[in-house]
Every structure is written in structure tokens, then in C-alpha cells.
Amino acid sequence: MMSAGVAKTSAPAFFTVPVVASAPPHSQKLAGFTANRKQAAAGNVKTGQSQVAFGCATLVTATAAVARSLRRHKTAGARQPKCVRYARGGEEEEWRPRNCPFSDADLADVRSKVGAMEGPEAGYSGPPYEGPKNIDAEFVKSLLAFQKDGGLVPKKYAYLMVLDIIDILGKEATMPNMSIPDGGSLTVIGDLHGQLFDFPSIYELAGVPSATNQLIFNGDFVDRGSWSVEVILLVFALKLMNPEAVGLNRGNHEMLEANIIYGFAGECGTKYDLDLFNLFSEAFRRLPLAHLVDKKVLVLHAGLPGPNPRIWMPGQTHDPTDAIPLTPPPSLDEIAAIDREFEVGPEDYKNAIGPSTNNKDLIDKRFLVDLVWSDPRGSKGWGPSYRKARGIYTFGPDVTKAFCEKNNLQCILRSHEVKQEGYTWDHSNLLCTVFSAPNYLDTGNNKGCVMRLTTAAGGKIKFEPFQFEAQPHPDLAPMHWQTFITDNYPYLLRKMKKKVVEFDEWGDSDFAGMSLMNFDEWEPDEAEQFQDAFKVDMFGRELDNLDQYDS
């Protein structure tokens, strides 16, 4: 790991993502907005499209070579990543998180260095790690007890476990298929958020993974809770023990931006080092984005894909008549085709808004943002999300119904939101949310829950919730280890402020119990600035800066 002291706060943001533009297709005409917005949009779209075309002509050639710089690349069977490099002229290079894939050669080099590390210190009382084949139920039981007593897995073992999980995840599809075994069950576990002392309750309810007892951990394993390293190593141990019986989905907290801000990077740096954090990030990039259970239930972390084209109107509210109207839903094949191994930077959310496109990179980026960030709403169509300034949507019951009907699904099973009872059904029982971190942030007063799926008469899938209460834990506040980042690497952080969310007078059920939300509705100061509707196009993009957006 490169040495770094406290750096100047004027350093560039830790994400610098190349912009790729192409001439936009003709935007389809959509109804459903108030008359004054239609009038404003009509004049702006014509002007905006001409400016997009001008910007595209100068950008597309120069940027084509870096179109997939944050993604997995294969040439002659080898992984060939392209990275965004950070250098400060005349100064020592500062530490930056690695935001591009490891090549096969990179991983082989790491494994060689880990092989030369010293083993556990004398007196180590936890289970020895000798590779996936030595993990069984007794290993997991011993590891959990060791961690609860304050033990830390030796550095060499931690590195080896992450390297081995990277190998396994790299062979999995973006949307793997899983089945409920005959006479058995499949249990979905929601957000964990580093709450180690609640993991025994989850493990007792979910059971040891096996051919007759399948498990899906539905994202957000880390961040917020101050035992995220311990929790993710337990989850990885279960996957290593029985890869076919354990599915792992990527959540919004398996992304660099969240990990830098919400504690996991600081915890890795404090307990181990930031080289291991980079290796965890590689594992997270390889996580599937969804699992399809018996071709009837889609399990994903957050929500469904947003509108196409991705309209974003300044000042849009949660008035049910102010929704972005329904557009045809994507197919499961389109989700399965996502090239998932990339990061989403702070600017990518607003840059993802815009016309329909054939640009595969931009399509994948939009899908990933939606699958790990979006939330349901009570009224029809799509609306704005409280979680980010622009680019993240909430989706209505008509969106869920259309998606399920097109893809012949019984329902969608997701996580991402705190629920008072640990779970809830929405959208006429087509959408279920399960959350497994009880008393979230030590203030939520919510129950945790896991959802067990079995096959009922007639072939339909039966859902059975198992709730549990929060357990006592040592006096360690959430995000305790974040000071490692704020003290040593403050240039990685943006100035943040809390959004003030008012009561929704339209009675929308999007955020019923807002005090129990995941508290991810933080954003930069500039996101609160007033947007003049007559200076943006129908996608909410500033007409003077259209060349910054992908198309």
C-alpha cells in the first residue's frame, strides 16, 4: 500500500469517469406532465438535441477508446482492465481506491504476495483457513464464536478468503438461476449492514446451506455497522462452503462510493489495510445483480429499471398526476446481459438521465443504478427518489405489474429499505421487501426478518417470514471506524448535508415511516440549489452543459 499522510483538501474527487457520447435517437413523446412543463419541454428539447449533436461530434471519436475503462475486459482469454489513473504533478501520488477490475495477472501477483505472509500469531484460537474445502458448518460456528469474543481473522486468512471468493464470483452470471429443492426451502436474507451480533439469529433461522436448504444474501452486507469486516467474512465463508447453495447479490453498499463514505473502507484500513479493501471491492464488482428463483421470483437488492427514455423534470413532486408515465418494461434477458463489473461514480447518476440509447455502457450503467438504488412508490409511474439529487427513481404498482406480466413472474423480492416489522408487501402483493438488520443504526426500533420460500400446491411459491429482535452488542457506535478515512484521507470525502424530507401531502406510500429509511438521502450541497425549468431539457439536463452527458 502506498504511504500517504493527510492530503490537501483541494485534491480531485476520487471518481473521475470518462464521458462517452453518441448522437441521441429521437426522443419519444410522453404525456402526463402539467401544461406549463409541456410547453417548457417542447422548446427545450429542440434546442437541447442540437447542442447534444454538436457535443457528440467532437467527443465520440476521442472517447471511444475508454468506453469501458471501468469494466471487465477479455483479450485472448485474459482479463485486460483499463484504469483511470490519478497523478499529481510534482507531488507524491495520494492513495486512491482502485476503481477498475483486477487482471488475472494482478490477482496472481496478490496471491503470490499473500503466500509469503506470516500465518496467524501464536495463541490464535479461531479456525484455520486452508482453502474452501476445509470450510464446513463447524468452521462457520467456530468463526462466529471467535468473532463475537472480539477475535480478528488473521490477515493472511482474510486475504485468501477474499481471493478465493473472487475466483468463484468471477464464474457466475449476472443473474444466476436458483431452485427451491424438492421438500426443501430457499431463504432470502436482506440487508445486514455489519451487525455481527444479530448474525447468530439470522444463521439460526436460515440454517446451514445445503442441497435442500438454499440461501440468498440480498446485498448491503457492509457499511454503517461497525463489524462489517466480520460479517462479510462470515457471508463469504458460507459461500465458500457451498457455492451452489448460496447466492450473493450486489447492493448499493457494495460500491466504492458508499464504502468510502459509510465506514467499510475505514474499517478495513483500521483492522487490516487498504490493499485488502481494494480486493474486497473487486469481489463486490463481481457480485451478481439478481437471482431468478424457479423462473417465478426475481430477487434483487433495490428495485426495477427506470423509464426509457430517462426523463427527469425539475421540481417534479410526488403528486400522483406528476408521475413519469409508464414505458415498456425490459426483459429478464436484458438484465442478464448486463456487463456488471464496474463502479458508479458520484456524477454518474445525473449523467445517466437522457434519451433512449443503443450505447451498451450507458444501458448497463442505468440498469445497475436502478437495480441497487430504486424504491417502490404508492402512485403510478416513476417519480423522484429522496436518495440522490437526480438519476434515481421510485417506481409505481403499474411498473411492477407490467414487469411481472412481461416476464411471467409471480413477484419481486427485494430489500434496501428498513421496515418496522422487518418485511412488507406492496403493489398488490407483487412486491415484497425484507430487511434483516434489526434496530438499524441502534435507533430504528425495527425488527429484522428473513423470508423462507417453499413450493406450494399447484407450483406457486409460498412465502413465510421469520422475524427476530435486535441483540445487545458492545458499546461501539455505528460507523465507528470512519475516522480512519476522515483523519487520514479527507480528500476522498465530499461535503455532505442531510436532506430535509417533508410530509407528503399526497399520501404516497413511498416512504411511509421515513424515520426508518436507510439514511442514504445524503447529498452534496449543490444538489439543493434551485433548478430553473427553462434552462434544462426534458431530462433535467442543463442546456449549456449537454456535452458532459453520455448518450
Q: Provide DSSP, 438-463.
A: TTGGGT--PPEEEEEEEE-GGGPEEE
- Is residue 464 assigned to a domain? yes
Residue 257 has pLDDT above 60, yes or no: yes
| Nearest alpha carbon to residue 494 among 15, 171, 6 | 15
Q: Residue for cell digits 425488527?
A: 447
Q: What is the pLDDT of residue 535?
A: 53
| Nearest alpha carbon to residue 34 among 386, 533, 542 | 533
Of residues 14 and 449, more confidence is placed in 449
Q: What is the pLDDT of residue 315?
A: 66
What is the Cα–Cα distance from 521 to 505, expressed in whole angstroms? 20
What is the Cα–Cα distance from 362 to 373, expressed in whole angstroms? 16
Q: What is the pLDDT of residue 56?
A: 33
What is the Cα–Cα distance from 233 to 235, expressed in whole angstroms? 5
- Is residue 251 assigned to a domain? yes
Residue 72 has pLDDT above 70, yes or no: no
Residue 156 has pLDDT above 70, yes or no: yes
Of residues 498 and 354, more confidence is placed in 354
What is the crossing angle of helices 155-169 and 104-115, to 10°?
Answer: 150
Mean pLDDT of 278-307: 98
What is the Cα–Cα distance from 332 to 173, expressed in whole angstroms? 13
Q: What is the pLDDT of residue 350?
A: 87
- Is residue 27 assigned to a domain? no
Cα 283 to its chain centre, rounded Å, is: 13
- Is residue 6 assigned to a domain? no
pLDDT level of residue 540 (50, 70, 90 thresholds):
low
Task: Find the range with the poorest average confidence among 106-115, 306-315, 483-492.
Answer: 306-315
- Is residue 24 assigned to a domain? no
pLDDT level of residue 261 (50, 70, 90 thresholds):
very high
Torsion of CA 451, 456, 459, 461, to 10 degrees: -10
What is the Cα–Cα distance from 416 to 300, expressed in whole angstroms? 9
pLDDT level of residue 386 (50, 70, 90 thresholds):
confident
- Is residue 63 assigned to a domain? yes
Q: What is the pLDDT of residue 387?
A: 84
Mean pLDDT of 229-255: 98
Mean pLDDT of 390-400: 93
Q: Residue for cell digits 400446491?
A: 457
Number of domains in the chain: 1
Q: What is the pLDDT of residue 300?
A: 98
Characterize the bridge pairing of strands 423-426 and 448-455: unpaired
| DSSP 8-state symbol, 80 | -
Range of the domain at 55: 35-548
Q: What is the pLDDT of residue 62?
A: 29
Q: Is 429 buried (19+), middle (13-18) or exposed (0-12) by CB count in 10 A?
A: exposed
Task: Find the range with the poorest average confidence among 312-316, 430-434, 449-453, 533-537.
Answer: 533-537
Residue 365 has pLDDT above 50, yes or no: yes
CATH number at residue 233: 3.60.21.10
Q: What is the pLDDT of residue 94?
A: 83
pLDDT per position as a tens digit, 420-466? 999 999 999 999 999 999 999 999 999 999 999 999 988 999 999 99
- Is residue 242 assigned to a domain? yes
Q: What is the pLDDT of residue 549?
A: 52
253 is catalytic: yes
Residue 488 has pLDDT above 80, yes or no: yes
pLDDT per position as a tens digit, 207-218? 999 999 999 999
pLDDT level of residue 149 (50, 70, 90 thresholds):
very high
Mean pLDDT of 403-427: 98
375 three-state secondary structure: strand
Q: What is the pLDDT of residue 313?
A: 72
299 three-state secondary structure: strand
Q: What is the pLDDT of residue 325?
A: 86
- Is residue 392 assigned to a domain? yes
Average pLDDT, the chain: 80
Q: What is the pLDDT of residue 117?
A: 96
Of the residues 26, 193, 253, 318, which is catalytic? 253
Of residues 469 and 526, more confidence is placed in 469
Residue 239 has pLDDT above 50, yes or no: yes
Contacts of residue 334, Cβ cutoff 8 Å, sequence gap at least 6:
367
pLDDT per position as a tens digit, 73-112? 333 334 344 343 333 333 446 889 998 899 999 999 999 9
pLDDT level of residue 356 (50, 70, 90 thresholds):
very high
Taking residue 93's Cβ as centre, other Cβ atoms within 10 Å add up to 11
Q: What is the pLDDT of residue 79?
A: 38
Q: What is the pLDDT of residue 211?
A: 97
Residue 134 has pLDDT above 50, yes or no: yes
